[in-house]
Amino acid sequence: MLSLNIRKLGFLLILINLLVWSNKGVGQVTPGFTYEQYCDSLVFTDATVISGGEVITDWEWSIGGNTLYGPNVWFIFPGQGPYTVTLTVYFENPVGQESYSEQILNYKVSSAGISADSPVCDGFPVDFTGSANTNSSAFFPNDSLKWDFEDDGIWDATGWNVSYTYPTSGNYTVRFKASNNLGCFDDDTETIEVIVGPDASFTADDVCLGEEMSFTNTSTLNGSNAFTQFFWDFENDGTWDAFTENPGHIYTTAGTFDVKFKIVTDLGCMDSVVGPVTVNLLPVADFTYNSQCPGVMIQFNDASVPNAGGELTYFWDFGGFTSTDQNPQYMFTANGTYDVFLQVTNANGCSHDTTKQILIEKPTAAFDFDVVCFGQTTFFTNESTFDASPIINWDWDFGDGSGTSVIQNPNYTYSNHGLYDVVLTVENELGCFDDSIVPVLVDTLPVAAFSHTATCVGMQTCFTDESIANADTINSWIWNFGDGNISTLKDPCHEFNNIGNYTVTLVVINSDGCSSVPYIEEIYVAGQPEAAFSAVTSCFGDTTYFVNLTDSANTEISSWMWDFGDPGSMGNNSSVLFEPSHLFSTPGPFQVSLSVENIYGCNDMVQQTITIDSLPEAMYVMPDTVALSIPVTFNDNSVGHGSPVINRMWDFGDGTSANNINPVIHTYDTAGVYEICLTVFDFNGCSDIYCDSIVITDFPEANFTYASDVTLESFFFDESQPSNTIIDWYWDFGDPTTSLDTATGTATPTWIYPAEGWYEVYLKVWDRFGGYDDIIQMVYAGNAVIADFQHQFVCLGDTTMFLDNSYSPISAGFEDWYWDFGDGTDSTYYSPHDTILHRYMFPGVYNVKFGLSATVYGYFMTDTMYQTLEVFEYPFARVDTAGLGVCFGQEIQFNDASIYVPNDPGVEWKWDFGDGTIENMQNPVHMFADTGEFKVSLQITSLHGCSTTDTTPAYVNFAPDFEFLIKNPCLNNAATFIPDYDSTKLEITQWHWNFGDYLSDDNTSTVSHPQHTYSRIDNYTVTMKMKAHGCSGETQQSFLVYPVPFSDYKISTDYGGVQGRVKFTNNSIFATHYLWDFGNGNTSTVPDPVEVYEYDSTYSVTLVSYNDYPPNTTDDFKCSDTTIHKIKIFFRGLYFPTAFSPNNPNDEISHFTPKGVNLETYEVQVFDLKGNLMWESDELDEHGTPAESWDGYNPDGVLMPQGMYIWKAAGRFKDGTVWTGQSFDDKIDPKTNGVVTLVR
């Protein structure tokens, strides 16, 4: 038997042909079958070959212990096999059977499984291992092992062992599908819990060198339960230095250190952070001082060094007195040795202190002397003392402007008598001074002098001694009055009996027995004046005039003093005029006095009684108001005060008057207001006037109006004028049906007429002054004029239309139409308008008033109608913008978010989706057929027809299209990743970055613009995933991390011997381009620049060094390094001119002017060639510049001749350096002296 098997695996037909040679005859049956593999199930099809008229009657299949019948069967294999499949066919003609068997393998995949750790920390990759089984004849292609890490229908990775980093915390379902090469598969799912990893952080305060720095763990656990491990690298040098949670560390050097801190939690999650800490240098405290004398304000100057600590703060202690100034002043008041303490603290809080002992001492100056009379020698004895510092100099000034001495115990003879202040100044070895001032008296003669009072005949003249003793006291006085009388009293008084001139002499003798030169004064004895005056008696309120009758006794009067005895007149109670006047404050008697004094001081006074008469008081009574033509009676009630009233004068205000009548009666013939004045006079001629007003009223004018309606009830209203004087009314309503149609005493009666029509109404009125008037008018009972109108409801801003439907049942002729629209505006028309248009500015309910009037048979009639009108505010159309951004193929739910006015709901909606489709539902659902931005508008209409529209964009997006840029991809620098997409079209909601740096603990990020630091030069592939409006996208970019240059430079100040000129030498490595910022506003790009500074200051100089990596990018994207150094520029100098010319008009040429800057102390002297001092100065201004110059004159004010003069100078600058002199030639050393030529 020969068998040939041809197979095609998979889902292809397997054809088996078996040729069997039978010995039963010529009929031939060759059993066989084909099958189709469906992984775990197979379909078997009979393929038996028959010949010779054989007929198959049955088919029997034996498969894995199961028996099936039929030509074609289907079977599910429980396992992978192999299985023996046997087909037995039964046939007849002749009857027989044949079988065929074959081993069949099942290619199904089973036992798919996932192995992975859970829970895991976010930001850390999860390692997944897949497993599955298939038979040995099949295999699993690597790309058929698929992973969906977030169960979102997207296969994320392939292979048995994969890794995935979840962007955020949460529970994720991961699916693994294993397919063999025949397409059979099995899958499995597992839930991975991703917890929030810890956030590493710490705090550490800056410390000063030598202090322990405390580190505090401030990390957050997030999804973990506890921290289990802590790793501290205090200098970030790769070595862990501490393993406790909150360690301490003492740095041995100052500077800024990067500290790396790593934490591990109980779940194995970890995080690390690197942060800078600073250890600051200590400053160095030091100071100088300029004096050791008590009582002198000593200047203490700070000489401390900040040591990169910025500005210093200061604490001085002078033994109880403290200061925080940098350069304080302090005065020690007594001798002694004192501790001066200085503590300085820099801006970093680091402190250092120093204490210096200072000897403070000055000598005590004192001396004694003997006193002799004028012309003898005075001997002075030094009695000065000291404690520790001996006295080395004595300087005497004898106080007479010429006498001086420098010996210890001098003597001196004064050339004049007097009192001299003798000054002794002593100096000790410390340069401290003290002086003593003692008055020395050289006796002299007394000086006689006196003064005296007035010299008048008959009066005592008193003399006052004003002599100078020039000794302890004056002991004797000798007076000669020139009229034969003398006195030895100190201050005598004497009476001269006759007018004339007298010579008065005084001689005095002091306690030293010295007599004065006689003091002589000529005096004149004058006569006595006699005061007198008269005055004219006056009425109260009138001015009193005084007549001066004084007798001057032929001597000029020098002053007049009047006292009016009237304190009520305040400041006017006195006068110094010759003949004054006065207005007395009250009636009555007054004591008036006049005092006079002549030029020799002789005076007199006289007093008189002056009587001021009282005024009469005018008054009368009369009525306030009287009707026209009614007589008015005026009663005079005037009163005389001290003197009777004897005369009266009336003025009635209408051009008429009367005299001496009481009472008086007067009648006015014209209505109006009149002023009546009464003037009265008393017996002394004093008068008074009183005025008052009276009202003369006219007759009233009767008038009335009325109103009537369909009820025939008519209302009457008095309109008589003037209304405030009407007091009574009489009405006759003209009703022919009754005699009781009258009313009295009311201004507003009511009457109901029996029928509609015209009636004659009579009114009479009376006023309160007796006047009256009447009137007859025709009135119409019923509505003769009917006001009516229509309007419609409107929306705010629309025009409201009012339709006039008024009419008159008696065809009255309308005259005017009045509209009050209820919004503060109204209109009046004088011709008919069937339609009135009005626009309201605000929504609301308005009360509209419409009134019209007509003349009916000559009578004026009106009617009014009120209606309520509502103006509706437009609704506010608004499309709810939530969810208006979707991915292509998604439906958008549009929601009406409009704001409707109360009582005016929306009734119609019209949506225009911007793609040609319209919808009239309130909240429709719509799917756009394309992507892009669509302007969706919603028009809403309210119940009252008010309509508004809102338009908003809707976005339909494909997966976002984007790229990203990489800035600063430099070694150990933070590379920044910048998304590049159209932010106006995409609103990114999720980001996930993978930096391709699998050796890093921080390889992923979920922020939009992340940063990552690469620690190795290598090629990296960065993957960015993001979602916008629910649409996801992904992009990758590979790049090379480049090396970073090292930026550094050296500073050379005073370059080329020029102050302020600085040379910068570039020491950068791996750099090709440079950017300098000199801190003074100037920049440069040359490698080794030279900069000239113009002002004293501390400048921060910045150098940014670039290399060419990455190429073809701007400087912002290149690798760079920056270094900053501070440079202190301090200009110092002192220079002297070589010539000057005093006669030149230019000050710079006419004076010898030293030039300098930043000097702290300085001294210059100019000498002639003989060594005589011409000029010296040590004055400096606030800039440390010499403040004075020499004009060429010597100390005696004489201009020196032309020639050479020698100057000598010394100085110290504010930075403590000493001026070494001025160089006049580059080959000659600097000198502290030189020659200046004076040119004339």
Question: CATH no. for residue 757?
Answer: 2.60.40
What domain count does the chain have? 14
- The answer to whether residue 590 is domain-embedded is yes
Look up residue 109 and give its two tokens. 């995949």
pLDDT category at 1228 given cuts 50, 70, 90 is low
How far, rounded to the nearest angstrom, does the alpha carbon of residue 975 sit from its chain's CA centroid? 38
Helix and strand numbers, DSSP H then E, in the chain: 1, 106
Q: Are residues 151 and 134 in the same domain?
A: yes
Q: Are residues 677 and 709 in the same domain?
A: no
d(CA 361, CA 358): 10
Mapping DSSP onto H, E and C, the string for 934-975 reads EEEEEEEEECCCCEEEEEEEEEEECCCCCEEEEECCECCCEE
Contact 56, 89 (CB under 8 A): yes
pLDDT category at 1225 given cuts 50, 70, 90 is low
Q: Specify the DSSP element, H or E, that contains 676.
A: strand 672-682
pLDDT category at 1029 given cuts 50, 70, 90 is low
**Looking at residue 424, what DSSP letter applies?**
E
pLDDT category at 2 given cuts 50, 70, 90 is very low
pLDDT value of position 12: 28
Look up residue 285 and give its amino acid: A
Per residue in 291-347, pLDDT tens? 889 888 899 999 988 887 678 899 999 988 899 999 999 888 888 889 999 999 888
pLDDT category at 1179 given cuts 50, 70, 90 is very high
Residue 1083 has pLDDT above 90, yes or no: yes
Pure H helices in 154-310: none
Where among 1072, 1106, 1129 does a domain terminate?
A: 1129
Q: Are residues 1125 and 1070 in the same domain?
A: yes
**Looking at residue 923, what DSSP letter applies?**
S
Looking at per-residue pLDDT, the higher value among 174 and 75 belongs to 174
Residue 469 has pLDDT above 90, yes or no: no
Closest CA to 295 of 332, 328, 252, 344: 332
Q: Which of the residue ranges 222-236, 968-982, 1101-1115, 1148-1162 would you say has the lowest mean pLDDT?
A: 1101-1115
Q: Are residues 262 and 326 in the same domain?
A: no
Can you tell me the mean pLDDT for 1115-1134? 83
Residue 601, Cβ density class (10 Å: 0-12 exposed, 13-18 middle, ≥19 buried): middle
**Looking at residue 1059, what DSSP letter applies?**
T
Look up residue 938 and give its two tokens. 């919603």
For 275, other C-beta atoms within 10 Å of its C-beta total 16
Contact 1044, 971 (CB under 8 A): yes
Q: Which of 104-113, 252-261, 367-376 has the highest mean pLDDT?
A: 252-261
Contact 695, 673 (CB under 8 A): yes
Q: Are residues 61 and 8 in the same domain?
A: yes
Q: What phi and psi, each to the nearest 5 degrees, are found at residue 569? A: -85, 5
Q: Tell me the sheet residues that pair with 551.
A: 530
Contact 60, 87 (CB under 8 A): yes
Contact 934, 922 (CB under 8 A): no
Q: Find all residues with CB under 8 Å of 962, minimum gap 6, and list them.
A: 979, 980, 981, 986, 1024, 1026, 1033, 1035
Residue 261 has pLDDT above 60, yes or no: yes
Look up residue 716 and give its two tokens. 């009457």
Q: Which of the residue ranges 269-278, 606-615, 702-711, 894-903 would you say has the lowest mean pLDDT?
A: 702-711
Where among 509, 525, 541 does a domain terminate?
A: 525
How far, rounded to the nearest angstrom, does the alpha carbon of residue 406 sit from its chain's CA centroid? 69
- The answer to whether residue 839 is domain-embedded is yes
pLDDT value of position 5: 30
pLDDT value of position 526: 84
Q: Are residues 28 and 99 in the same domain?
A: yes
Which range of residues forms the domain containing residue 663? Answer: 620-697
Question: CATH no. for residue 516?
Answer: 2.60.40.10
Look up residue 844 and give its two tokens. 């609301």
Distance, first Cα to last Cα, the chain: 152
For 481, other C-beta atoms within 10 Å of its C-beta total 19
Contact 1128, 1171 (CB under 8 A): no
Q: Find all residues with CB under 8 Å of 732, minimum gap 6, and list them.
A: 741, 742, 761, 762
Closest CA to 1236 of 1149, 1147, 1159: 1149
Per residue in 15-51, pLDDT tens? 233 333 333 344 688 899 888 766 666 778 888 888 7
- The answer to whether residue 777 is domain-embedded is no
Residue 633 has pLDDT above 70, yes or no: yes
- DSSP class per residue in 338-351: EEEEEEEE-TTS-E
d(CA 503, CA 487): 14
pLDDT category at 1124 given cuts 50, 70, 90 is very high
pLDDT value of position 23: 38
pLDDT value of position 624: 83
* Diameter over CA atoms, the chain: 215
Mean pLDDT of the chain: 85
Q: Are residues 347 and 376 in the same domain?
A: no
Pure H helices in 676-813: none
Q: Which of 135-149, 237-251, 544-558, 702-716 has the highest mean pLDDT?
A: 237-251
Residue 7 has pLDDT above 60, yes or no: no
Q: Are residues 1035 and 1058 in the same domain?
A: no
Look up residue 24 and give its two tokens. 């039963």
- Residue that the structure tokens 């700070």 belong to: 302
Alpha-carbon dihedral of residues 1050, 1056, 1060, 1066, nearest 10 degrees?
Answer: -20
- The answer to whether residue 186 is domain-embedded is yes
Cis link prior to 1110 (omega < 30° from 0)? yes
Per residue in 435-468, pLDDT tens? 998 888 777 777 889 998 888 887 888 999 998 8
Q: Are residues 340 and 249 in the same domain?
A: no
How many angstroms separate the Cα of 1153 from the Cα of each of 489, 655, 1165? 70, 98, 12
Name the E strands within 120-197.
120-121, 125-133, 145-148, 157-158, 161-165, 170-179, 185-195
Contact 1159, 1170 (CB under 8 A): no
Q: Are residues 1142 and 1220 in the same domain?
A: yes
d(CA 234, CA 276): 10
Where among 546, 578, 612 does a domain terminate?
A: 612
Contact 535, 547 (CB under 8 A): yes
Contact 695, 628 (CB under 8 A): no
The alpha carbon dihedral of 149, 152, 157, 158 has a sign of: positive
Q: Are residues 1014 and 1067 in the same domain?
A: no
Q: Which of the residue ranges 278-287, 500-509, 1109-1118 would you say has the lowest mean pLDDT?
A: 1109-1118
Can you tell me the mean pLDDT for 643-660? 87
How far, rounded to the nearest angstrom, does the alpha carbon of residue 784 sit from its chain's CA centroid? 73
Can you tell me the mean pLDDT for 696-704? 85
- Among residues of the chain, what percentage have pLDDT more than 90? 30
Q: Find all residues with CB under 8 Å of 115, minimum gap 6, and list them.
A: 128, 129, 130, 131
Look up residue 678 and give its amino acid: L
pLDDT category at 1123 given cuts 50, 70, 90 is very high
Q: Which of the residue ranges 158-172, 972-986, 1078-1092 would you say has the lowest mean pLDDT?
A: 972-986
pLDDT value of position 783: 76
Contact 595, 605 (CB under 8 A): yes
Q: Find all residues with CB under 8 Å of 770, minimum gap 6, and list them.
A: 627, 630
d(CA 1009, CA 1017): 22
Q: Find all residues with CB under 8 Å of 772, minimum gap 6, and list them.
A: 699, 700, 764, 765, 766
pLDDT value of position 11: 29
Strand, coil or helix: 984: coil
- The answer to whether residue 776 is domain-embedded is no
Residue 858 has pLDDT above 90, yes or no: no
Q: Tell me the sheet residues that pair with 980.
A: 963
Q: How wide is the angle at C-alpha 782 spanned by C-alphas 779 and 788, nearest 5°?
A: 115
Q: Which of the residue ranges 538-552, 733-747, 762-776, 1022-1036 would you say has the lowest mean pLDDT?
A: 1022-1036
- The answer to whether residue 781 is domain-embedded is no
Residue 700, Cβ density class (10 Å: 0-12 exposed, 13-18 middle, ≥19 buried): buried
- The answer to whether residue 1222 is domain-embedded is yes
pLDDT value of position 1113: 63
What strands, in cross-sheet order, belong to the sheet with 726-732? 742-744, 726-732, 757-767, 772-781
Task: Say if pTM beats, i.e. exceeds, 0.85.
Answer: no
Q: How wide is the angle at C-alpha 725 spanned by C-alphas 724 and 726, nearest 5°?
A: 100
Name the E strands within 683-732.
687-697, 704-708, 713-718, 726-732
Residue 570 has pLDDT above 70, yes or no: yes
- The answer to whether residue 1068 is domain-embedded is yes
pLDDT category at 371 given cuts 50, 70, 90 is low
**Looking at residue 79, what DSSP letter applies?**
S
pLDDT category at 569 given cuts 50, 70, 90 is confident
Q: Are residues 900 and 846 in the same domain?
A: no
